[in-house]
Amino acid sequence: MKLTTLSLLALTLLTTAIHAEEPQTGLANLFNGKNLSGWTQKNGTATYRVEDGAIVGTTNEGSPNSFLCSDKLYGDFELHFEVKVDPQLNSGVQIRSQTVGDTPEGRVNGPQVEISLDKMAGYVYGESAGGWMTADADRQPHDHFIDGEWNSYRVVAFGNQIQTWINGHQISNLTHDERYESHPKGFIGLQVHGIGAGQGPYEVRWRNLKLRDLSQFSSLYNRKDLSGWKTTGNWLPQEDGSLLIQPREGEKGWTRYDAYLFSAKQYKDFVADFEYSYPPGGNSGFYFRVGDLKDPVGTGIEAQILDSSQKQGPLNSHDHGGIVSTSAAASKNMSRPPGEWNRMVVTCIGSHCQVELNGESIIDVDLSQTPVKDRPLKGYIGFQDHGQPNNIMFRNIRIRDLSNE
């Protein structure tokens, strides 16, 4: 696709600003696939080597837990990796972790995302930090971690919340104030668990370790009230920190523009990151650069939110993830079933717009080459109230304002 000079320049600046991230995903490589540059071992005598583009950790009989740790520290981030582990071995990935005395010999401590075949994979444990962080009642056994296969993990740590997914299935949605207070930032650590006498050697392998830095994002929804937003609609804060749009009796149609939920602030260049769950047939939309709140459809741009989970065949711009009123249709149907959480990331720099849905880049378009080319380059962002029966829930609404970068 052909981009304008302005868009190319802005994209170059963004890519440089976020440490050579992949332009379509914002994910930076934590491991170069060749050597252990940028990583240091702490604790234990297990060994780590690089083989076939993966980090291979091997147990050493009599050793305590060993950790290969990133030299850089991270606070708010999204971490992706794939892992395969011998069935006899328990492992984990440390996040926001530290060592006692900040020395290599000091005991590694902090949150750990579990890697195991005991149906507890993906839950969060406090390594030398109080034991299980995921409450007993919330640790429901599951079979999403597959023995003998590469398993895909996604971990989002933002403020006091840690979310985990394995192979596309959400495992944990944990809020933990105490551990966030003690461990707001730290290294990423790859654990090789200690083993007893006469056991092993066992191995665990990691590959495709990537991280999106969320430290420059801010929360647009405080999980309590609608401070910072404008609406006359029935948007209801929920006890779990989500936000429910619940149209009132008789409220139908999409032209009730004052019932949309709009930011009090206007944005030009940005990355918006949010989650939502729709009912069967649910319909909403993410609006951005809206110039006139009395006419968002005519003066703004919409990324479609729609239950397209049952659609077969080619998608169009009015299907889930498409840019409405353009020819920009999702390249792949990434819609989750009703009742599950979807995650959309929208990046707009100049006329260049990208949409990521549930981890897949589905839209990459130059808006100046579409019918919305005359829409404002700056405006409000918001979510559409489509009327009954569209009870849709939103959560984790975040934005990175790129206008001054």
Q: For residue 32, give the CATH number of its domain.
A: 2.60.120.560
Given a contact cutoff of 8 angstroms between Cβ atoms, the answer to whether 212 and 21 are in contact is yes
Would 13 be classed as within a structural domain?
no
199 and 54 in one domain? yes
Distance (Å, whole) CA 272 – CA 283:
19
pLDDT of residue 87: 94
In a domain, 331, yes or no: yes
For residues 146 and 168, is the Cβ–Cβ distance under 8 A?
no
In a domain, 4, yes or no: no
Last residue of a domain, one of 213, 233, 253: 213
Q: Are residues 391 and 289 in the same domain?
A: yes
Among the three residues 213, 229, 254, which one is the final residue of a domain in this structure?
Answer: 213
Q: Could you tell me whether strands 218-219 and 235-237 are parallel, antiparallel, or unpaired per DSSP bridges?
A: unpaired
Do 160 and 196 belong together in one domain?
A: yes
* pLDDT score for 405: 62
Residue 8 lies in a domain: no
Please check whether residue 230 is in contact with residue 265, taking contact to mean a CB–CB distance below 8 angstroms.
no
**Does residue 372 share a domain with residue 306?**
yes
Tell me, yes or no, whether 308 and 187 share the same domain: no
Do 298 and 366 reside in the same domain of the chain? yes
Residues of the chain with pLDDT under 50: 1-25
Q: Which of 397, 401, 384, 157 is nearest to 271 (CA)?
A: 401
Domain co-membership, 186 together with 106: yes
Q: Quick check: helix, strand or coil at residue 402?
A: coil
Say what percent of the chain tops pLDDT 90. Answer: 86
Number of domains in the chain: 2
Based on the fold, state whether residues 202 and 233 are members of the same structural domain: no
* Residue 14 belongs to some domain of the structure: no
At 122 the pLDDT is: 98
Does residue 311 sit in the same domain as residue 166? no
Tens digits of per-residue pLDDT, 36-82?
A: 999 999 999 999 999 999 999 999 998 999 999 999 999 999 999 99
> In terms of Cα–Cα distance, which of 285, 279, 390 is closest to 339?
279
Tell me if 10 is assigned to some domain. no
Q: What is the pLDDT of residues 130-172, one digit of tens each?
A: 999 999 999 999 999 999 999 999 999 999 999 999 998 999 9
Structural domain for 158, as ranges: 20-213
Residues 197 and 225 in one domain: no
Domain match, 186 and 318 both: no
pLDDT at 3: 40
**pTM (2 d.p.):** 0.82
Amino acid letter, residue 337: P
- Please check whether residue 7 lies inside any domain of the structure: no
Task: Tell which of 165, 184, 213 closes a domain.
Answer: 213
pLDDT score at 19: 37
pLDDT value, residue 14: 42
Q: Is there a domain that residue 168 lies in?
A: yes
Q: How many residues are listed for the chain in this entry?
A: 405
- 134 and 58 inside one domain: yes
CB 252 within 8 A of CB 233: no
